[in-house]
Structure 1
């Protein structure tokens, strides 16, 4: 990759066959040729753009009167957001930063309302989300929208540096903070669902600071504005480690839920649960009952590279979150990606289990493999897994998918 100008780009084209197969004899299978162009421009720490979207051309199935292009991929304004996979303006060190694109495992700062959320869990809804970060004196703010082209999930969190307010600008900012967050789902894009609003107050104290390592304690309380008796509390601890080859973040929390409120409500399953929650009730999560009780939550984010960890270039990337409830429910979601054989083979796995240990659990899984040939320019790929497709009636239709194909890319 040339570095003479400070600007770099990558072009990529993938072509695969894709089969969508409904389960239990519901509907008919559909077959497509999927063509996926990609253009990435890298202008350094302050600017970057990633454009591209899969175009699925029908080969067979789906019923009479359907067009060449899969209709569900482009039948709303929000679906056109999928063309922007990533747009970065500013950086974490700038006073203001903006990012647009797909939200994958997104968490809003303290993450007690929005945690490990994906805005692409619904396979027929492809919005571009976005978030804005800003710093002004002792205040740090992050605001986000799950769909910048539709009225959907929106929220913000404002964190106050207490040490900065009391004693002036500290040498290590952000060691003692108070934060207030609020999130509202308008429920008017990606299929209609009941609106819901949540708010949370958090306090954090960083108790250990060493080169490449931090440990902190946290406590918080949240609820549903306008809903008396719906509240929750949380206490916990976390540790972050960063070395030239390792980036690791660990969290452990003990939570109390009451009146239907739970921490992390907008999580990895939310884009499906907003139509039908995991469990025996055939209702959206905003209307589903949630037993009072306690839970233990753990989360791990690990990136490791034997040479030097660089985020995208890694030998191992692991992300795992799990929560066990005192009344017998267990939730888990995770993803792992590994590179083998001098990085020529990459294998990625994703899994999701919600409501396990109770009637009506929800399971989803997917796998992807890429093998690079001819010095890495050409690669073969294959994917497969399970999905849930929301219907106009608000139910979820189970299905599966599989694809195989070729890709080629070029970097400058």
Structure 2
């Protein structure tokens, strides 16, 4: 149950709120038949229109105002196929440099930006021998998560790539590979997980209880703005020590480093628990980590698309070149999805995701998102925040909020969003900014 949970969570981002369940309803009057039932297709169409203001902070940059039109089409073909396409088109109302185009140029000025048209495309389910997924990566972790943890490929406001995830199982070997940009040479990596019980004693009744995993990740740094390349690798051993219906407890230990740089290594040991009930889906992790020579676990984290240009801290250099003090840290993570009924989809009454790490030398990092649905799901409120390097000079803070109020049985809704941004510049600095948006949306599901 544990090793594929993060991929399963990622795939659920395809599911619409009102587009029907991913599994077709079954009639109680249907008679059994040896032939498989015909596939039921569901779809959702959506159109949002809003005003968007991009505002500089600390007097840096130009004030800009846009009309944002965002069409979306979602097809749900069951557990083996799903498609979500659409992208915001921003038409300038005011502001910007002299001669600025009507359509915001930064949204479409590279090949990678065209990847934003595909929000989600999946072939094969998470339990199939082979699965492929394309789209935006939000809070993505590569299996054990000791190299890539809670990573977002859309943290740079002017870079909108589509990522890709491939999962496959052959006998005792489970593989997950990813790229952050399918149209450019950027971040890519893979983790190979070997079921040791299967190798030593034959196919077990419960898969993945004792695994040995090797992961490696490389950033080419050639698109989305040039930055230094970097390579990391990690070896992990995991044992599921307790299994109950809907519950697992595990222990994990690992060691990693930067193969090109001698003396850069780190070690980790921790415990975890996964719980799944008809109304609750919960993951908990707690780890003790050791960093040495500039290596750290979770190197490709939630702010990596900014840190690759300018790491949090007083040095003002890219993360690949920044010095990282040697020491220990305590890392904790929780992901909780709760619903009052057995809904089973992405949208629940409560969704909480929180990761925090405290270092012995005085630094503290935290990344969190929470979303709630109230008043019979007619009101949705979502908050997210990021703090990196807190307790040290040069700490980085970002936050955002979104509210949606649905009327007419959910087909019409008002929306409002706002938050802070950081725009990478050509000289490697980050220009602070903010955004605010209000508008209306309409959708139809069948």
Contact persistence 1:275–1:284 (CA under 8 A): yes
1:235 equivalent in structure 2: 269
* Post-superposition offset of 1:52: 0.2
**Corresponding residue pairs, total:** 412
Structure 1 alignment gaps of length 5 or more: none
1:185 counterpart (203, 210, 219): 219
Q: Within 2, Cα distance between the matches of 1:410 and 1:311?
A: 18
* Post-superposition offset of 1:26: 1.2
Two-structure CA RMSD over aligned residues (Å): 0.9
Q: Does 1:126 align with 2:151?
A: no
After superposition, the Cα gap between the structure-2 partners of 1:300 and 1:309, relative to the gap in structure 1 and judged at 3 Å, is farther
2:376 equivalent in structure 1: 342
Per-residue deviation, residues 17-74 of structure 1 (Å, max 9, x unmatched): 0000011111220000000000000000000000000000000001111110000000
1:287 counterpart (321, 335, 343): 321
**Equivalences for 1:30-49 in 2 at 5 Å?**
30-49=64-83
Per-residue deviation, residues 261-303 of structure 1 (Å, max 9, x unmatched): 0000000010000000001011000000000000000000000
Contact persistence 1:247–1:309 (CA under 8 A): no
Q: Within 1, Cα distance between the matches of 2:192 and 2:314?
A: 37
1:251 equivalent in structure 2: 285
1:322 equivalent in structure 2: 356
| Structure 2 counterpart SS, 1:272 | helix
Q: Within 2, Cα distance between the matches of 1:311 and 1:218?
A: 29
2:116 equivalent in structure 1: 82
Q: Provide TM-score, normalisation by structure 1.
A: 0.99
Q: Within 1, Cα distance between the matches of 2:270 and 2:119?
A: 34
* Post-superposition offset of 1:313: 2.8
Q: Provide TM-score, normalisation by structure 2.
A: 0.92
Q: Within 1, Cα distance between the matches of 2:62 and 2:130?
A: 49
Q: Does 1:379 align with 2:409?
A: no
Structure 2 alignment gaps of length 5 or more: 1-18, 26-38
* Post-superposition offset of 1:309: 4.2
Per-residue deviation, residues 191-228 of structure 1 (Å, max 9, x unmatched): 00000000000000000000010000000000000211
2:35 equivalent in structure 1: none
1:153 counterpart (165, 187, 201): 187
Deviating above 2 A after TM superposition, structure 1's stretches of 4 or more consecutive aligned residues are: 1-5
* Post-superposition offset of 1:311: 3.2
1:70 equivalent in structure 2: 104
Q: Does 1:10 align with 2:10?
A: no
Q: Within 2, Cα distance between the matches of 1:320 and 1:16?
A: 30
